[in-house]
Amino acid sequence: MLSASSRHFRCHRAAELFKPPLGPDPFPIRIQKSPPLPDPNNRPSFTTVTSSINHTHPSSESQQQTLVTQILSTIENAPTLLQSLHNKRIFLTPKSFNRVLISAAQRNHLYLVTQIFKLAIASKIQPLNSDCYLTVAKAFARADDCVVELLSFTEQVLELTQPSMTVINRLLFALGQCKETDNAILIFTQVKDRNFTPDMYTYNTVLEILGRAGRTGEMLGVFGEMKEAGIDPDLVSYNTVINHVRKFGEVDMCLLYFKEMCEMGVQPDLLTYTAVIDGLGRSGDIEESLKLFGEMKERRIWPSLYLYRAVISNLKKMGKVEMAASFMEEMNSCASSLRASRKSNKCE
> How far is it, in rounded angstroms, from Cα 53 to Cα 192?
41
Average pLDDT score over residue span 220-238: 97
Q: What is the mean pLDDT of the chain?
A: 82
Domains in the chain (CATH in brackets) are 249-348 (1.25.40.10)
Q: Is 144 a residue whose pLDDT tops 80?
A: yes
For residue 136, which of 152, 124, 150 has the smallest C-alpha distance?
150
pLDDT digits (tens, 9 = 90+) for 9-67: 455 444 444 444 444 433 233 333 444 444 444 444 444 544 554 445 555 677 778 88
pLDDT of residue 180: 96
* pLDDT above 50 for 245: yes
pLDDT value of position 126: 65
Element (H, E) at 201: helix 200-212
Angle between helices 251-263 and 4-16 (to 10 degrees): 160
Under a CB-based contact definition with an 8 Å cutoff, are residues 305 and 338 in contact? yes
Averaged over 235-255, what is the pLDDT?
A: 95
| Terminal C-alpha separation, the chain | 30
Q: Is the pLDDT of residue 281 over 90?
A: yes
CA dist., res. 252 & res. 339, Å (int): 28
Q: Model confidence over 295-347: pLDDT tens digits?
A: 999 999 999 999 999 999 999 999 999 999 999 999 988 876 665 444 444 44
Poorest-pLDDT segment among 60-69, 193-202, 266-275: 60-69
**CA angle, 55 as apex, 51 and 58 as ends, to 5°?**
120
Query: Tens digit of pLDDT for each residue in 213-222?
Result: 999 999 999 9
d(CA 150, CA 184): 10
Predicted pLDDT at 192: 94
Q: What is the pLDDT averaged over residues 99-114?
A: 87
d(CA 348, CA 326): 26
> Where does the pLDDT of residue 98 fall: very low under 50, low under 70, confident under 90, or very high at 90 and above?
confident
Question: What pLDDT is recorded for position 154?
Answer: 95
Is it true that the peptide bond before 36 is cis, omega within 30 degrees of 0?
no
Please give the Cα distance from 133 to 127 (Å, whole number): 11
Decide if pLDDT at 1 tops 80.
no
- Answer yes or no: is pLDDT of 178 > 80: yes
